[in-house]
Amino acid sequence: MNFKHKTNVIVIGSGPGGYSAAFRCADLNLNTILIEQYNNIGGVCLNVGCVPSKALLHLVKLISEIKTIKSYGLLYNNEELNINIIRSWKDKIIIKANGSLYMLAKARNIKVINGYSYFVNNKHIQVNNNKSISVVRFETIIIAAGSKHIQLPTIKPICYKNIWTSSDALSLTIIPKTSLAIGGGIIGLELATIYAYLGSVVTIIESFNQLLPAVDKDIVNAFIQEVNPKANIILTTKTIAIKSRRYKTYTKLYNKDIYTVLKSYDIIITAVGRLPNINILSLEKTNVKTIKGYINVNKQLRTNISYIYGIGDVIGIPMLAHKASNEAHIVADVIAGKRVYFEPKAIPTIIYTNPELALVGYTERKAIEHNISYEVSIVPWLASSKAIISNTSYGITKLIFDIKTNKIIGGLIVGSEAGELIGELSLAIEMSCDAEDIILSIHAHPTLYETIAIASQLYTGTVTDLLNNPKKH
């Protein structure tokens, strides 16, 4: 066998998990090769996922704020949005981020190979691109190949220009007059938010009886109250057929109340979930074990073969960029001989819609499932002067405490900048803080994050911004 490359560590995939692992390995003086199937590094997240979607969500948030200012009579400019300029602005952000990654890789002497990776056996992989085929022998390999969108079984395996994946939607080629987002999860809601604020009449359908089934219903209801005017939400409904004809796409929807209804939309966005990218790796040529379609790893991210590791989407949910990048640091340290493990107490989830929704740790539903004696403390943002000033008084901060220890075990926030506020709760859970720890950490006023302190005071019966529970004092 003709070997073109030999290295200490190979990383398959250059998303947040892959490039973080490669960079950290290089910093630990490990000779590292980073393999990416596409021309640009950064993976789905940077190129057709997190970065472009959050850029557009930031833009539509600004549009929303401008509309609010106009409603006060403070602005009179009615200029229309230019989709071409928006797309160019979004693409420039991606190009800039890509350039930064290439500079960091070069500075660390990491070799980047573009091409598709296939395992030959437990010690070699083959990399194919349009120009050549390379065989690489490795001492250690990190599989960070990411995930792909789930294809709806109701869509025939042919290309419809008006049936979009999330990647298609973020290309921003047109603003459809009407659009349907299939899937009421994070991706579906974020894309629906973007297109609703850009002027499309958006409908969201979800097969469950609520959006975001893993989130507590009271938080979801507060979220829906703000989202409903911008998008039509249909629950407990399935798509049983999709057909594309000329410029319209026809969907047959089913639920137990309306049975079947035929509706037409200019564009349909499918966002029903993602699957790990492991079937393209020829893992069957190795002895690596999988469970339910995911690569099986231990707390050091090792597979059953000690020098083959897996991180990110390929090892299971939650499929989050920040989870992958944290795993990347752990796995690099393990390879370098350090005795470390990936065992976080909680991983935050953020939905960058308008309003934002964020959660970390236990929800009420999860606490009940685990037989935890808990108590909830909820602060409506009407009690926050900063929320009133910021036109976000509809928001809610909800904390969940373990009654036996008074420690915070979970938190959910809906409202402006929820994704930033959840950071304090993530740290509090990781550090095993109790309610008094949060209260004694002085929170600035007026701020949105002081609602976390107020909720903790409400739990202990020491609150002054709201009425206390008589049982608490």
Superfamily designation of domain 163-272? FAD/NAD(P)-binding domain (3.50.50.60)
pLDDT tens-digit series, residues 305-347: 999 999 999 999 999 999 999 999 999 999 999 999 999 999 9
* CA–CA separation, 455 and 379 (whole Å): 6
431, pLDDT greater than 90: yes
Q: Which amino acid is at 441?
A: S
| Annotated binding-site residue? 189 | yes
pLDDT (average), residues 407-412? 98
pLDDT for 472 equals 65
pLDDT for 67 equals 80
pLDDT tens-digit series, residues 81-111: 889 999 999 999 999 999 999 999 999 999 9
pLDDT for 368 equals 96
Q: What is the CATH number of domain 349-472?
A: 3.30.390.30
Which overall architecture, per CATH, does domain 5-148+275-335 show?
3-Layer(bba) Sandwich (3.50)
| Annotated binding-site residue? 268 | no
407, pLDDT greater than 80: yes
pLDDT (average), residues 257-267? 79
Catalytic residue among 5, 329, 445, 473, which? 445
Stretch(es) of the chain classified as CATH 3.30.390.30: 349-472
Instruction: Report residue 147's pLDDT band, with 50, 70 and 90 as the boundaries.
Output: very high
pLDDT for 460 equals 96
Stretch(es) of the chain classified as CATH 3.50.50.60: 5-148+275-335, 163-272
Longest dimension (CA), the chain: 78
* CA–CA separation, 328 and 104 (whole Å): 16
| Annotated binding-site residue? 450 | no
pLDDT (average), residues 249-273? 83
pLDDT for 87 equals 94
* CA–CA separation, 342 and 238 (whole Å): 38
Q: How deeply is 260 buried, as exposed, middle or buried, from its count of CB atoms within 10 A (0-12, 13-18, 19+)?
A: exposed
Pairing mode of beta strands 133-143, 308-310: parallel
Helix-helix angle 16-27:83-107, to 10 degrees? 20
Q: Report yes or no: 23 and 105 within 8 Å, Cβ to Cβ.
A: yes
Q: pTM value?
A: 0.93
- Residue 443 is a catalytic residue: no
pLDDT for 74 equals 66
| Annotated binding-site residue? 73 | no
